[in-house]
Amino acid sequence: MALGQAYGKLFGKSPEVGKSWWKFAIDASEELQRRERNWQETLGGALAEQYGYPSMRDRVMQWGAWPVAMSDKLSAVPLWMARYEKSLGEGSSHGEAIDIADRSVSRQHGSTARTKPT
């Protein structure tokens, strides 16, 4: 139910409302931000921008990975929002709700965070 409501906020109302919620989620969540950076870096986007135009191989890799990255985002952002709002409703602070939502995305979609061995 919460996930459906999150999809409704993002895609079921006016484009302005959806953009506002999308921006809030991306700005608040390090996990969602990291997913975007990882997609660009994995495909050599940062290197291509720094050193010039990408090769044909790089372009084909980008074209092939783009639908996967976008479908990931189309499910990760609503999941994050649903878990964030649920946590707030359960009494979590704003910061705690962000952490809980980030962990939910990481558990469901994997994470691109670099972790140090313990």
Q: pLDDT by residue for the chain (118 residues), tens digit each? A: 788 888 888 888 788 988 999 999 999 998 888 776 555 555 555 556 666 666 666 666 666 666 666 777 878 899 999 999 999 999 999 999 999 999 998 888 776 665 544 4
Specify the residue for token string 């670099």: 114
With contact defined as beta carbons under 8 Å apart, do 25 and 32 qualify? yes
Flag whether the pTM goes above 0.75. Answer: no
Task: Please give the angle made by the CA atoms of 58, 61 and 63, to the nearest 5 degrees.
Answer: 110
With contact defined as beta carbons under 8 Å apart, do 11 and 20 qualify? no
- The rounded distance, in Å, linking the Cα atoms of 71 and 46 is 22
